[in-house]
Chain A
Amino acid sequence: MKLNKRYARSIKTDLSFYVSATVLTMVTLLMFYLFYIAGTGINKYGDDFFSKYKREDATFSTYAEIPDEKLSALETKYGVTLEKERFAATDEGDYRVRVFSPNEKIDLYEIQDGHAPEKDDEIIISAGYAAENNVKVGDRLKVNGKEYSVAGTFLRPDYLYMVENLTDDYKNVTTFFLAYMTPEEFKDSFGGGSINYKVIYGDDTDQVAFRKEINENYYMASYLSADSNMRITFVHEQADMFIMSSWFILVIFPLVTVALICILLGRRIRAEQKLIGTLSAMGYEKTKLMRHYSLFAAIPGVIGGLLTSVCALILSGPFGSLGLADYEPMKPQFTLPVWVAAAGVVVPTLIYWTAAMLRVRKLLKEDVVKLLAGQVGNDAKSRRILTRSKKKVGFKYAIRQLVGNPGRSFVIFLGIFLGAMITAFGYSFIDSVKAVGEQAHGEFGTFRYEYVLNTLEKGAPDGGEAMLILPFEDGDMRRFSLIGLDGDATLWNLKTTDGGKADIESGFYISTLCEAICGVHKGDEFTFRSIATLEEHTVKIDGVIRNGYQNYIVSSREKIAGIAGLDKENYNAILSSSSLDLEKDRVSETITDKSFETQMQNMLNAMSGLIYAFIGIGMIVCVASLYATVNTMLSENRHNISMLKVLGFENGRIHSMIISSNHLLLLPGIALGIAAAYGIMAWYCARFVEIEKLMIPATLKPFSIILTAVFTAVCYFASLLLLRRKVDKTNMVEALKDGRE
């Protein structure tokens, strides 16, 4: 069809529309790809790594050591793989180390760099710490007071997310690492060390019977299934959150931009109604015309989709790496599945194609004479408003432009809204994480040190306050801690949400985090079980303590000891407002009041790249969509602009008359964008409770609101500024030749 020769010429004439529509298509698809590639890449890597290096199904400790020969018997009896893991903790001042003797069957390590320790003065260390602190193979590190040469770095499947203590909320690769030394050196340095048992269940294993037998014979001190171990679960949970975010993005942003582009395409086709009418009058078949215009519309879809796929293939590594910030330095293969890349081309193309086809079809249903006169769509009643008003003509014209072109106004509003929403979401994330650090202090209490002991102790707690802290789980295997304190305890936060003080001598109080995770509220009866004995207990919840960061139920030490079948004098943790001089082998973990704040800051640092990329994308979406729309607006007003020029209107005045009506959309767009961002952040924070076991208060500070408003306004005015030259360059004579009212 000769008519198709128009393609190249029309694209050249209307280049800015095609460029901005293509950019919008690309940006939104890239956002989807970014999260999808990261999520699927991490998930696949996790599955392969877990399988290859024999990830545990659970880890547990007992008060009595299980003899080696008994381990084999248990393996045979229950069809499990069972291994005794020896480890020791050391504190070198600037850093803390958890040293292991290598396993043979479960939770094996993978060397990332260098080689396994072969000599007594060699160690290998966890790769995340090495990367963070720039420790190289051959460097020397002190462990347990002795200097070792770093022979290599490693990853292990139960520490892909490096939380130091299971009560922590965020990784620590700055002051904590894992290390392996030869079994002989480990024995020389630490003797037998502490013991954990690792287990992989068989398909037919009776897990309850297995756990009961362990408990009956060796008394289980702790039990942690892989499903509850955030060092393991975080791999899939964060990856799943990326994938979920990708689908969320796919539903929201491309739909919005597709709608935006479809509206613009519709307007551009309507602007061609005279030509469509002429061609129709000349006998062009409806299908030919529909196909012709659909091909025009498909251009941004095809080019945008293809370019995005190419970009995604090239950038899949850096894209995926953004999602790896929280993990040990894993090396997943980030690839864009062919079907996703193909869908990225086909789906927007089809949508644009269909939108154009439907628009042409609708136009062709109109009277040809009306089409030839260019009168279709020009008689909207909304354009008649203020007819008898005595307001300035420029004002009336601006209002009619706004309300008489609802589709176009909606698209401009959408551009502002999206820009503000994405930007505000980025800032809200930063504010919310910072708010955690600021609020957490008050919710924890006034202690500065929490020493978790290796064994149950009795007697005076060395100048601190005694605490009994034991792991329990509810019927859905959601873990939490039962905490027992003395009635005169002062260092733990016992202030209830009602404003009073928790009466722990007579009742049980739940933290707000535990309330959110387990779905138990004040006045409810709550049934849970010991992870050691699996024995069930039911208590009534008497109140709630505001603490969104620790997952616990607190009562008197006597009550908690009773539930656990322990002596009422037992405790296994000490709270203190000052540093205590405790023997190293008594303490398994030391948690300070700064630990949490540091974790939050690390989290923010790790995610800042992603957040600022997000804000940048918000600005691009804002500028591109506004540019595309206002450009369309100017094209539609080309004739009016030239006539105003002929009449002696200065460019500034024309600019203000034609475009200023959109200023009315700026404030509502920003306000609603910010409100939507806050709503999404609140939803995101709710999901965070499930995934990270952390209640982040959705926060958006006034300064962030101002920044969002300023950035969005800058993007808005910048896009208008870019188009200012279009008004300046409008050729009066040529434009008037086109005008045939």
Chain B
Amino acid sequence: MFIEVKSAKKQYGTGEAAVYALDGADLSIEKGKICVILGPSGSGKSTLLNMIGGLDSLDAGEITVDGQKITGLSKKELTAYRKQSVGFVFQFYNLIPDLTVEENVEVVAEIAEKPLYTDEILKALDIEKYRYRFPRELSGGQQQRVAIARAMVKNPKLLLCDELTGALDTRSSRSVLKFIEKVNAQYGTTTLIITHNEGIAGIADVVVRIRDGKIASYTENDHKLTADELEL
């Protein structure tokens, strides 16, 4: 398995205020698949994503990505892991406002070991014409495409998307999802999308439902749809 999560536990707060964001979650995902993780707010889906992405650490349990055990890595090792293996896309894009589109992508390319060509990725995401614009001069959908380009330029093994259409209208959401499909197909990147939007689940190879920090269901999607076919 490309991603393996075993008995993952994460608690925030102590005593009566303690909340189990993850309470013994188990999950396995194959390489190259698109996995959509669904769940209501506070179900633990973002926590799970952060743990897999090496942004935070588990209290108990184990996570392995492409044979590399993530749990127990030092801060320095986690940084190297994120640099080499993981691309992130967030709901609010989190682009660096003082860098142009091209620079937001290049800043990652400069530290990556085997980056893709910036021009290639800008072209793939159809944002080549905006390359000298700053994020504040773009629409939300365009900014999210830049965020995907930035995540993909390092050619990561794993693309983690946190509510990537949460701040977008239907049209922009569909457009962004088309690019997710495209990069998955073009680069074979294993992609995890967390969302509370059921409509997105159609493009997934695997649909995982999470509730109260536990995996409630794991379904292989036999009727995978294209982004154009989704009902968002």
Show the binding face of A for B, using Cβ within 8 Å.
375, 378-379, 383-384, 387-388, 392-394, 396-397, 400-401, 404, 639-640, 643-651, 653, 732-733, 736, 739-741
Residue of B nearest to A651 (CB): B79
CB-defined A-B contacts under 8 Å, sample of 9: A378-B97, A378-B136, A379-B136, A384-B134, A394-B110, A639-B94, A643-B96, A647-B107, A648-B79
**Cβ contact of B99, chosen from A388, A393, A740, cutoff 8 A:** A393
8 further A-B pairs in the complex, CB-CB below 8 A; given A392-B110, A649-B79, A733-B55: A397-B98, A647-B88, A648-B80, A648-B86, A650-B79, A732-B55, A733-B50, A741-B94
Q: How far is the CA of A393 from the CA of B100 in the complex (A)?
A: 10
Question: Interface digits, B118-140 against A, CB 8 Å rule (1 contact, 0 not)?
Answer: 00000000000000101110000
**Cβ contact of B111, chosen from A388, A396, A653, cutoff 8 A:** A653
CB neighbours of A650 from chain B (8 A) = 76, 79
Residue of A nearest to B98 (CB): A400
Contact between B98 and A646, CB atoms less than 8 A apart? no
Which parts of B52-97 form the interface with A (CB within 8 Å)?
A: 53, 55-56, 76, 79-84, 86, 88, 90, 92-97
Q: How far is the CA of A502 from the CA of B188 in the complex (A)?
A: 96
Residue of B nearest to A380 (CB): B98
Contact between B99 and A396, CB atoms less than 8 A apart? yes
CB neighbours of A651 from chain B (8 A) = 79
CB neighbours of B106 from chain A (8 A) = 393
CB neighbours of A378 from chain B (8 A) = 97, 136
The 7 lowest CB-CB distance pairs between A and B, nearest first, are: A648-B83, A648-B82, A393-B107, A393-B103, A643-B94, A400-B98, A393-B106
Q: How far is the CB of B128 from chain A (nearest CB, A)?
A: 14
Contact between A736 and B90, CB atoms less than 8 A apart? yes
Q: How far is the CA of A648 from the CA of B77 in the complex (A)?
A: 10
Q: How far is the CA of A740 from the CA of B92 in the complex (A)?
A: 6
Residue of B nearest to A405 (CB): B98
Residue of A nearest to B135 (CB): A741
CB neighbours of A644 from chain B (8 A) = 96, 107
Does B142 sit at the interface, judged by CB under 8 A?
Answer: no
Contact between B88 and A387, CB atoms less than 8 A apart? no
Q: How far is the CB of A468 from chain B (nearest CB, A)?
A: 78
Q: How far is the CA of A378 from the CA of B134 in the complex (A)?
A: 11
Does B143 sit at the interface, judged by CB under 8 A?
Answer: yes
A383-B98, A393-B99, A733-B50 known; A649-B55 Cβ under 8 A: no
Q: How far is the CA of A442 from the CA of B104 in the complex (A)?
A: 67
Contact between B111 and A649, CB atoms less than 8 A apart? yes
CB neighbours of A732 from chain B (8 A) = 55
Q: How far is the CA of A739 from the CA of B91 in the complex (A)?
A: 10
Q: How far is the CA of A388 from the CA of B90 in the complex (A)?
A: 27
Contact between A649 and B83, CB atoms less than 8 A apart? yes
CB neighbours of B90 from chain A (8 A) = 736
CB neighbours of A736 from chain B (8 A) = 90, 94
Q: How far is the CB of B12 from chain A (nearest CB, A)?
A: 11
Q: How far is the CA of A541 from the CA of B15 in the complex (A)?
A: 94
Residue of B nearest to A387 (CB): B132
- Total interface residues on B, using CB and 8 Å? 36
A393-B106, A397-B107, A733-B50 known; A741-B83 Cβ under 8 A: no
Contact between A739 and B99, CB atoms less than 8 A apart? no
Between A and B, how many residue pairs show CB distances below 8 Å?
85
Does B108 sit at the interface, judged by CB under 8 A?
Answer: yes
Contact between B83 and A388, CB atoms less than 8 A apart? no
Q: How far is the CA of A645 from the CA of B97 in the complex (A)?
A: 16
CB neighbours of A383 from chain B (8 A) = 98, 134
Q: How far is the CA of A471 from the CA of B88 in the complex (A)?
A: 88
CB neighbours of B100 from chain A (8 A) = 387
Contact between A393 and B98, CB atoms less than 8 A apart? no
CB neighbours of A646 from chain B (8 A) = 53, 55, 82, 88, 94
Residue of B nearest to A404 (CB): B98
Q: How far is the CB of A27 from chain B (nearest CB, A)?
A: 33
CB neighbours of B55 from chain A (8 A) = 646, 732-733
CB neighbours of B76 from chain A (8 A) = 650
CB neighbours of B86 from chain A (8 A) = 648
CB neighbours of B134 from chain A (8 A) = 383-384
Contact between B96 and A640, CB atoms less than 8 A apart? yes
Which residue, B107, B134, B154, has most C-beta atoms of chain A within 10 A? B107
CB neighbours of A741 from chain B (8 A) = 92-95, 97, 135-136, 143
Q: How far is the CB of A296 from chain B (nearest CB, A)?
A: 25
Q: How far is the CA of A486 from the CA of B107 in the complex (A)?
A: 83
Q: How far is the CA of A647 from the CA of B111 in the complex (A)?
A: 9
Q: How far is the CA of A648 from the CA of B84 in the complex (A)?
A: 8
**Cβ contact of A397, chosen from B53, B99, B111, cutoff 8 A:** B99
Contact between A645 and B95, CB atoms less than 8 A apart? no
CB neighbours of B83 from chain A (8 A) = 647-649
A393-B110, A647-B82, A648-B82 known; A739-B98 Cβ under 8 A: no
Q: How far is the CA of A736 from the CA of B84 in the complex (A)?
A: 21
Q: How far is the CA of A716 from the CA of B93 in the complex (A)?
A: 35
Q: How far is the CB of B7 from chain A (nearest CB, A)?
A: 22
Residue of B nearest to A643 (CB): B94
Q: How far is the CA of A286 from the CA of B93 in the complex (A)?
A: 33
Q: How far is the CB of B114 from chain A (nearest CB, A)?
A: 13
CB neighbours of B154 from chain A (8 A) = 648
Q: How far is the CB of A437 from chain B (nearest CB, A)?
A: 55
Q: How far is the CB of B90 from chain A (nearest CB, A)?
A: 6
A393-B103, A393-B107, A649-B111 known; A388-B132 Cβ under 8 A: yes
Q: How far is the CA of A413 from the CA of B67 in the complex (A)?
A: 50
A648-B111, A732-B55, A741-B143 known; A396-B96 Cβ under 8 A: no
CB neighbours of B50 from chain A (8 A) = 733
Q: How far is the CA of A518 from the CA of B196 in the complex (A)?
A: 89
Q: How far is the CB of B102 from chain A (nearest CB, A)?
A: 9
CB neighbours of B110 from chain A (8 A) = 392-394
Contact between A397 and B92, CB atoms less than 8 A apart? no
Which residue, A400, A647, A732, has most C-beta atoms of chain B within 10 A? A647
